[in-house]
Amino acid sequence: MPYNQNSGFGQSLMSSLPLALTGKIFVVGDSGTVNRDMLVELFGYDPDGELHYYATIDAAVSACTASAGDIVLVAPGHTETISSATALVMDIAGVSVIGIGQGTLRPTLTLDTATAASIPVSVNDVKFENMIFSANFADIVAPFTLTTAKNFQLVNCAFQATATNMNFLSIVDTNTTNNAADGLVIEGCSWIEPDLATLSFLDLDADMDGFVFKGNYVNLGVNTSDLPAIAVVATGKDLTNAQIGGVNKADGNVIIRLNDANPLLITADSGAANTGYVANNYVRHLDTASELLVTTTTNFGFFENYATAAVDASGYILPAVDS
């Protein structure tokens, strides 16, 4: 494998990689910020003696083999600009894109130029981890658009505005094909966006099974249409086996959305078709009336969720405890 297991950096990196690597590792490095010799020292050579270093993530992904478990490691400080829906296309199944570094040293992808600038995902089993995604244009629809994209994962990623009025409306936008994006996982991510036009983290236009949203921090301020923070589910569409938060407190989400109307987390069609749970979430809001986390009669189970509309007061359990 093209990393040096004897270096301290290589050893720490192992903790974020699968225990059994079945594919190759490709490294993306910006020659302006990362010395090529340093990358060789850190990651070494492939068994075939060839270096697999690329200037862009798209080039590295294009070199991967579908469903082989290939990993694209993105070097600390690497930056790219995504100005269209074709600059970075995830069309090779089973590829994980993992950023190296912490804080501002995490690789940063800046989306600009058009509201349609995005990263389309059209294959299954794709993952982005430890990356920063920055909006540098007003009302970008979403950095990720999913078509046939089961088991897509965003893990420990940050979404942010480059400047005032530079914002994402949503983070993930699906198409209208039922179950094409089953198994979507959003874990350990943050999205801080005060823009009034901001919608919800997920714009879901089809039935989805196995949606997981846990351990995230979402601070969206106010939305003038009183939309929920996590997901807007299209009319007639259902979430089955959904996990919003988790049975462990560490898996709960912290949500700040200073709306004065509900629902606060998810809009979903009412009825028994929805299944799953909403647990250990913490919500700051301004709705002092009905205070609904999710649309009523949606069939989800609720456990240990806390919310408050008061300043400097601890939240209380919502919805009310079953007697």
φ, ψ for residue 229 (rounded to 5)? -80, -40
- Longest alpha-carbon distance in the chain: 67
Positive or negative, the Cα torsion across 166, 224, 181, 215? positive
Q: In 3D, which of 6, 141, 133, 112 has the Cα closest to residue 57?
A: 133
> Are 151 and 122 a contacting pair, CB within 8 Å?
no
Q: How far apart are CA 221 and CA 15, in angstroms?
A: 35
Side by side, which strands form the sheet with 119-121? 119-121, 144-146, 172-174, 202-204, 231-233, 266-267
In this predicted structure, what is the pLDDT of residue 288? 83
* DSSP letters spanning 2-36: -S-TTSHHHHHHHTTS-SS--S-EEEE--TTTS-H
Q: How far apart are CA 108 and CA 120, in angstroms?
A: 17
Positive or negative, the Cα torsion across 281, 187, 247, 179? positive
pLDDT tens, N- to C-terminus, the chain (323 residues)? 233 333 333 434 544 555 456 688 888 885 555 555 655 665 555 545 556 788 899 999 999 999 999 999 998 899 999 999 999 999 999 999 999 999 999 999 999 999 999 999 999 999 999 999 999 999 999 999 999 999 999 999 999 999 889 999 999 999 999 999 999 999 999 999 989 899 999 999 999 999 999 999 999 988 877 889 999 999 999 999 999 999 999 999 999 998 888 788 999 887 789 999 999 999 999 988 888 899 888 899 999 999 999 989 999 999 989 86
Provide CB contacts within 8 A for 34, sequence distance 6+: 75, 76, 77, 78
Q: How far is CA 11 from CA 3, 7, 90, 110, 129, in A?
A: 9, 6, 28, 30, 18
Say which residue the tokens 């991510």 belong to. Answer: 189
Q: Distance between the two ends of the chain, CA-based, in angstroms?
A: 57
How many residues are given for the chain?
323
Q: How far apart are CA 41 and CA 197, in angstroms?
A: 46
* DSSP letters spanning 124-136: SS-EEES-EEEEE
DSSP-derived 3-state class of residue 243: strand
Provide CB contacts within 8 A for 203, sequence distance 6+: 142, 169, 170, 172, 173, 174, 231, 232
